[in-house]
Amino acid sequence: MWNRLTLTELAQRLAQRETSASEALAACWDRIQQVDPVLHAYLSCDIAEARLQAEAADRALASGATHREQPLLGVPISLKDIIAVREQPLTCGSKLLANFVSPYDAAVTEKLRAAGAVLFGRLNLDEFAMGSSTENSGFGPARNPWDPSRIPGGSSGGSAVAVAADECAAALGSDTGGSVRQPAACCGVVGLKPTYGRVSRYGLVAYASSLDQIGTLTKDVRDAATLLGAIGGHDPRDSTSVPQPVPDYTATLEQGVRGLKLGLPKEYFVGGLDPEVRAAVEAAVAQFQQLGAETIEISLPHTDYAIAAYYIIAPAEASANLARFDGVRYGSRVAGADLLELYQRTRGAGFGPEVKRRIILGTYVLSSGYYDAYYLRAQKVRTLIRQDFLEAFGTVDAILTPTTPSAAFPLGEKSDDPLRMYLEDIYTVSCNLAGICGLSLPCGFTRQPRLPIGLQLLGKPFGEATLLRLAYAYEQATSWHREKPPLPHAPERA
């Protein structure tokens, strides 16, 4: 049962010696054995090494270490397999890196270790975080715990599944265009994408550097606040990390929402939005009004251009970032007659279809004769999109939208139609283009089949405390986050 607790609940039980880190890890491991053959949230798990960490945490607890100093002491946390953990695999969901072992820890890994977390397991993802369904994983898709015939969202699909199915207490993912928030919505958990620069990207394998940000997937909002507090902060090894103090996000959670202004962008409530999703989001709006928040209609006039701008800028950056995978310094190599052929064959054999698509697209929009028409124009449109948000935040404290236009779709439904897949990201990409923060939390279910629906809150740059406070107030007034997917329960441990 320890695997079913939130991070906060588990930390409390550990502090009260009602359980041990080793017991909590064992409960997660049992759960993985039970459900992961179907769900495939994990690509690998070095349980022997994790047990050593858990034993070390138990020794620390026995010798008087406290959760005041180390808020995650003994808590089992899993990371998306694109965040570096020393001596562990770092496949990025790519066959090209199937045998890569990380020689160093990411900044967030160091911070989680310092906070006492037990880090275990490498979570499934779309290859190099490119995708919205986890179907682009080089090692087979993850599946939605609410309906295994459906996608769990992506690219941090494994992270959302592992948290929703109680295979770990909490997880980290990365969000370039919605890759934390969209799977959180599909799986019925809380997904937080911090402001660009809030969390160090050192040790996060780069997809689109100006958009990538590490985020949290948790069972509730308080856990998100705790985890962001643990991983946030300036890091000189990431020159885009911002030297801004990290507040205690849990301290302001309970301040309520009375007097806060929520903006409802009229461009987000249009055709293409599933009626059940719309109804759930409208009910959430009513709930916020009841809690004392003010809601007003706003306009984000350039919303309609966000997908086009995103799918130029992100592939452009990806094509440059992925140039490093050339079969020389790391990864698998396919021999060739000369170096050029070695590069071409290595990359042709190592990358999956979506990664190739984005490399080609990115190379094209940056190529001579097309740069101004596509890339430069997209960067200018990015300015307009960012301006829309900054103007809106002059009037409102946060913006409320659906996270996705519909609930989780069946596997295979969009895998041969990249444009339709890209349009799935319509509500999430603007947040990354603008560099602001965003959070998705459960706000209801579709009727048949019963699938989670996500509510998105978008906040000002470094406005995470306000987002978490809003989300917490809503969560306390509803019970969606307590619902568990209809999977067999883990056997009780004595």
Partner 1 sequence: MHGTLRQPTSNPFQLVEPTVAKKDFDVSYVAHLARLELASAEAESLGRQLGQVLAYMAKLEELDVAQVEPTAHAVPLANVTRPDEIRPSLSNADALRNAPASNDGLFVVPKIVE
46 lies in the site for partner 1, by CB under 8 A: no
- Interface with partner 1 (CB under 8 A), residue from 140, 353, 410, 412: 353
Q: Please, is 417 exposed, middle or buried when counting C-beta atoms within 10 Å of its C-beta (0-12, 13-18, 19+)?
A: exposed
Mapped onto helix, strand or coil, the DSSP state of residue 110 is helix
329 lies in the site for partner 1, by CB under 8 A: yes
Residue 80: which of 200, 210, 180, 192 has the closest Cα? 180
DSSP string across 243-292: ------TTTTGGG--TT-EEEEEGGGSSTTS-HHHHHHHHHHHHHHHHTT
Which of positions 239-268 make contact with partner 1 (CB under 8 A)?
239-240, 242
327 lies in the site for partner 1, by CB under 8 A: yes
Choose between 4 and 356: whose C-beta lies nearer to partner 1: 356
Which of positions 356-375 make contact with partner 1 (CB under 8 A)?
356-357, 359-361, 363-364, 367, 373-374
Residue 7: which of 76, 110, 58, 102 has the closest Cα? 76
- Which residue do the tokens 């200018």 mark? 380
The helix (H) or strand (E) run that includes residue 223 is: helix 221-231
Nearest-approach distance from CB 357 to partner 1, in angstroms? 6
337 lies in the site for partner 1, by CB under 8 A: yes
Choose between 57 and 398: whose C-beta lies nearer to partner 1: 398
Nearest-approach distance from CB 115 to partner 1, in angstroms? 23
Nearest-approach distance from CB 153 to partner 1, in angstroms? 21
HSE of 161, CA atoms in CB hemisphere, 13 A = 38
The CA distance from 237 to 234, in Å, is 9
**How many residues make contact with partner 1 (CB under 8 A)?**
76
330 lies in the site for partner 1, by CB under 8 A: yes
- Interface with partner 1 (CB under 8 A), residue from 326, 476, 484, 487: 326
- Interface with partner 1 (CB under 8 A), residue from 202, 207, 351, 472: 351
Q: Characterise 458 by phi-psi region: left (phi > 0), alpha (psi -120 to 50), beta (else).
A: beta
Which of positions 162-221 make contact with partner 1 (CB under 8 A)?
196-197, 210
Q: What is the DSSP letter of 226?
A: H
270 lies in the site for partner 1, by CB under 8 A: no
Nearest-approach distance from CB 124 to partner 1, in angstroms? 21
Choose between 405 and 454: whose C-beta lies nearer to partner 1: 405
- Interface with partner 1 (CB under 8 A), residue from 95, 261, 278, 333: 333
Nearest-approach distance from CB 399 to partner 1, in angstroms? 16
* Contact status, residue 42 vs residue 124, Cβ threshold 8 Å: yes
Tokens representing 61? 């607890």
95 lies in the site for partner 1, by CB under 8 A: no
Nearest-approach distance from CB 383 to partner 1, in angstroms? 4
Q: What positions carry a catalytic annotation?
A: 80, 155, 179
Binding mask 407-436 for partner 1 (x = CB under 8 A): ----------xxx--x----------xxxx
- The residue type of 210 is S
The CA distance from 218 to 175, in Å, is 15
The helix (H) or strand (E) run that includes residue 345 is: helix 339-350
321 lies in the site for partner 1, by CB under 8 A: no
299 lies in the site for partner 1, by CB under 8 A: no
Nearest-approach distance from CB 98 to partner 1, in angstroms? 11
DSSP string across 129-142: G--SSSTT-TT---
The helix (H) or strand (E) run that includes residue 307 is: helix 306-321
